[in-house]
């Protein structure tokens, strides 16, 4: 893991060459020492051997990561100019409104009527034509124009970094293209096994669509059982997220475990007969587990569960002692050998941390309380499972999702039986085509959804807008490790270390709260077509924008930044609205915020001369005003020119070029970092 992480942040060919030779050297030394093991009594030098093995594993990880990094390869498709690219669809296409999105492998580039073999991945967004069926599936080969562009980074504070997310999937370029600009080839490059699995899953989804009338129940059934990315409503997603049960909607270890229990029950008679019967059961069990993993999309969490279960089943069959930590480490090792980039997958990280929690903490938590009553004991055992997984995933869950579900124990207890029933009834419907069970199936899903929504609506159901820094993630993680060791082993030193770490975490959080109370900031957001500027005073903000609180652009680009700065009171006003508060006055195209002043230039100023004796800090150009930049600079004596995304691209270029001639400092609010101005 350390080798992969190090290589990922130092990606270049020189590092690859060094890493490869270091791996080769360390391996050869280990091989020689193994040959001379008895002659030179190597067993006396365990630290040396352990150190060499660690070095060898480190450079194995770094070499694999760099070898898998496409843009380092000589045949990467961006390193040459082509007239057309030959690609094949490497993921299941997802249609959202009229945009079809999919990942594609680039296999060839056409230049001078010659096809050159190339490599690399693309994210494709295809604008579909409602009058023509696009008819694209996994494995289809296409010819497209080479109009790709680099994936854009996050421009605004706290914005989701889509570029980093795609880079962790080895994708660095994207293309937006119309349906009539592609040529579908008669060939197909699909992996036969994956194509079979995708086609089979689509048939099962179509069956659910046919027999389940409620759209939300259909979406949950398809997502929960088959791993199909159905269009769940925001309300349902929010309910699962706020109650800490979102794991139920992504096929994971819990689902594979339920499948394993079902297979064990169905094949119970095979355990009490001959050795051949036991072998048949072993083969059938592992085959069915991997078959289910295949048709659900082979996500990181499903692969983890399938590999771990296979290892445990084999160990039991061979009557070997099972070390759960070794099984977990072996599973991670196999997955990372196959795909080093999985280490950045959130599902991979949370899945392994959850299982680590189950292995390390579930039994100590369960043993901490004793119930004579059978049902209370089972409830406590289930609660211990939920608590152990929640504890170990807590730091990363807060870091990634910025929330903590207060009632996670109640909600996880609530969904145990419904999820089991949904899984078993849903699978029975698919296997035996039992359409008459659909109303019962639909009722259970609806009941589960409504129950979770009720829990999510309870007072203080979730702590939201929690933003922590990376050092706080490490501090919280180490706190959990030390406090767990101290309480389990009943030792004082680990507990003292844990309390010191918690104190550091709390001091950091208190410091951030103090800064938030005193903050005075202006954020000019970078958007694609809209405009937004937040004037922040302590935990209040005036937001000048054309967005509303429910728009995706506001939720994706603006809201995370305001939450990060702990703003809890927001007043929305638009370009034309005048307002006055204790700290901000907006009137007649002017804004005064403490000692900063702005003038808002739009079409009202077309071909007009501005008389002004007070210099402005910022001139904000909006919706293509017909003004002369050099004249503005001279008349307004402003220090910075702001050009927002409501201006057309050619006007933005024109304004920028004119500003350069007069040394007018310019900041573009489109495809550029947001401008953060701190007044303290």
Return mean pLDDT, the chain: 88
Task: Express each pLDDT in 312-351 by its tens digit.
Answer: 777 777 677 778 888 888 888 988 998 899 899 888 888 8
Q: What's the confidence (pLDDT) of residue 264?
A: 78
Mean per-residue pLDDT for 41-54? 86
Q: What's the confidence (pLDDT) of residue 273?
A: 62
Partnered with residue 178 across adjacent β-strands are: 127
Q: What's the confidence (pLDDT) of residue 596?
A: 92
Q: Is the pLDDT of residue 162 over 70?
A: yes
Mean per-residue pLDDT for 495-499? 95
Are 346 and 11 in contact by the 8 Å Cβ rule? The answer is no
Task: Express each pLDDT in 249-308 by its tens digit.
Answer: 776 777 787 888 888 777 777 666 677 777 788 888 888 888 888 877 776 667 778 888
Task: Express each pLDDT in 345-383 by its tens digit.
Answer: 888 888 889 889 988 998 999 998 888 888 898 888 888
Q: What's the confidence (pLDDT) of residue 599?
A: 92
Q: How many CA atoms lie within 13 A of 267 on its CB side?
A: 20
Q: What's the confidence (pLDDT) of residue 337?
A: 92
Are 284 and 255 in contact by the 8 Å Cβ rule? The answer is no
269 compared with 106, residue with greater pLDDT: 106
Task: Express each pLDDT in 595-636 by its tens digit.
Answer: 999 999 998 888 787 776 678 899 999 999 999 888 888 888
SS (H, E, C) 633-680: HHHHCCCEEEEECCCCHHHHHHHHHHHHHCCCEEEEECCCCCEEEECC
Helical pair 408-432 and 192-211, crossing angle rounded to 10 deg:
100
Task: Express each pLDDT in 62-105 by its tens digit.
Answer: 999 999 999 999 999 999 999 999 999 988 888 877 888 999 99
pTM of the predicted model, to two decimals? 0.85
**If we measure between CA atoms, which residue out of 485, 515, 486, 480 comes closest to residue 501?**
480
Q: Is the pLDDT of residue 154 over 90?
A: yes
Q: In whole angstroms, what is the distance from residue 422 CA to residue 412 CA?
A: 15
Percentage with pLDDT > 90 across the chain: 47
Cβ neighbours of residue 399 under 8 Å, at least 6 residues apart?
468, 470, 473
Task: Express each pLDDT in 578-593 by its tens digit.
Answer: 999 999 999 988 999 9
Q: In whole angstroms, what is the distance from residue 578 CA to residue 600 CA?
A: 12
Q: Which range scores top for mean pLDDT: 243-252, 453-462, 609-618? A: 453-462
Q: What confidence category does residue 412 fall into, taking pLDDT thresholds of 50, 70 and 90? A: confident
Mean per-residue pLDDT for 551-580? 93
Q: What confidence category does residue 229 fall into, taking pLDDT thresholds of 50, 70 and 90? A: confident
């Amino acid at each position: 893991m350390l080798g992969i992480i190090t290589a990922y942040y130092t990606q270049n060919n020189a590092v690859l060459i060094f890493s490869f030779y270091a791996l080769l050297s360390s391996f050869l030394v280990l091989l020689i020492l193994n040959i001379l093991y008895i002659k030179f009594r190597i067993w006396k030098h365990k630290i040396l051997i352990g150190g060499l093995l660690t070095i060898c594993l480190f450079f194995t990880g770094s070499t694999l990561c760099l070898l898998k990094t496409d843009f380092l390869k000589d045949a990467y498709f961006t390193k040459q100019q082509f007239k057309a690219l030959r690609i094949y669809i490497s993921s299941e296409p997802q249609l959202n409104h009229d945009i079809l999105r999919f990942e594609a492998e680039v296999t060839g580039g056409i230049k001078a009527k010659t096809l050159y073999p190339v490599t690399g991945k693309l994210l494709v967004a295809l604008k579909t034509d409602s009058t023509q069926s696009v008819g694209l599936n996994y494995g289809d080969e296409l010819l497209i124009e080479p109009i790709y562009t680099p994936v854009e980074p996050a421009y605004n504070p706290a914005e989701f970094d889509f570029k980093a997310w795609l880079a962790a999937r080895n994708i660095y370029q994207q293309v937006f293209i119309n349906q009539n600009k592609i040529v579908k080839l008669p060939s197909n490059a699909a992996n036969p096994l994956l194509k079979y699995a995708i086609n089979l899953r689509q048939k099962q989804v179509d069956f659910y669509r046919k027999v389940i009338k409620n759209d939300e129940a259909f979406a949950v059934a398809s997502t929960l059982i088959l791993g199909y990315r159905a269009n769940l409503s925001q309300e349902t997603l929010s309910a699962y997220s706020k109650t800490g049960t979102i794991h139920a909607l992504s096929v994971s270890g819990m689902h594979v475990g339920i499948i394993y229990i079902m297979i064990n029950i169905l094949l119970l008679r095979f355990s009490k007969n001959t050795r051949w019967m036991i072998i048949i059961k072993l083969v059938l069990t592992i085959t069915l587990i991997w078959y289910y993993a295949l048709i659900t999309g082979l996500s990181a969490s499903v692969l983890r569960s399938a590999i771990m279960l296979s290892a445990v089943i084999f160990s039991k069959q061979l009557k070997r002692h099972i070390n759960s930590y070794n099984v977990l480490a072996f599973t991670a090792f196999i997955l990372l050998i196959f795909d080093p980039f999985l280490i950045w997958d959130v599902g991979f990280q949370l899945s392994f941390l959850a299982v680590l929690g189950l292995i390390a903490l579930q039994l100590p938590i369960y043993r901490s309380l004793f119930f004579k009553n059978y049902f209370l004991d089972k409830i406590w055992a289930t609660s211990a499972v939920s608590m152990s997984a929640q504890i170990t995933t807590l730091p990363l869950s807060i870091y990634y999702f910025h929330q903590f579900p207060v009632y996670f124990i109640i909600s996880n207890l609530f969904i145990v039986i419904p999820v089991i029933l949904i899984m078993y009834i849903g699978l029975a419907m698919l296997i035996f085509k039992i359409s008459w069970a659909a109303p019962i199936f639909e009722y259970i899903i609806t009941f589960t959804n409504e129950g979770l929504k009720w829990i999510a609506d309870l007072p203080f159901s979730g702590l939201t807008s929690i933003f922590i820094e990376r050092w706080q993630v490490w501090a919280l993680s180490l706190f959990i490790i030390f406090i767990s060791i101290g309480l389990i082993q009943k030792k004082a030193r680990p507990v003292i270390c844990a309390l010191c770490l918690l104190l550091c975490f709390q001091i950091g959080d208190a410091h951030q709260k103090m800064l938030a109370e005193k903050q005075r900031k202006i954020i000019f957001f970078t958007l694609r077509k809209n405009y937004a500027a937040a004037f922040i005073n302590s935990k209040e903000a005036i937001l000048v924008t054309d967005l509303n609180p429910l728009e995706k652009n506001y939720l994706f680009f603006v809201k995370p930044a305001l939450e990060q700065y702990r703003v809890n009171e927001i007043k929305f006003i638009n370009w034309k609205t005048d307002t006055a508060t204790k700290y901000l006055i907006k009137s007649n195209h002017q804004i005064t915020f403490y000692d900063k002043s702005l003038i808002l230039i739009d079409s009202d100023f077309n071909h007009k001369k501005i008389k002004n004796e007070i210099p402005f800090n910022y001139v904000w150009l909006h919706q293509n005003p017909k003004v002369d930049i050099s004249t503005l600079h001279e008349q307004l004596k402003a220090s910075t020119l702001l050009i927002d995304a409501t201006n057309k691209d050619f006007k933005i270029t024109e304004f920028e070029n004119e500003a350069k001639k007069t040394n007018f400092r310019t900041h573009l609010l489109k495809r550029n970092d947001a401008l953060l101005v701190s007044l303290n």
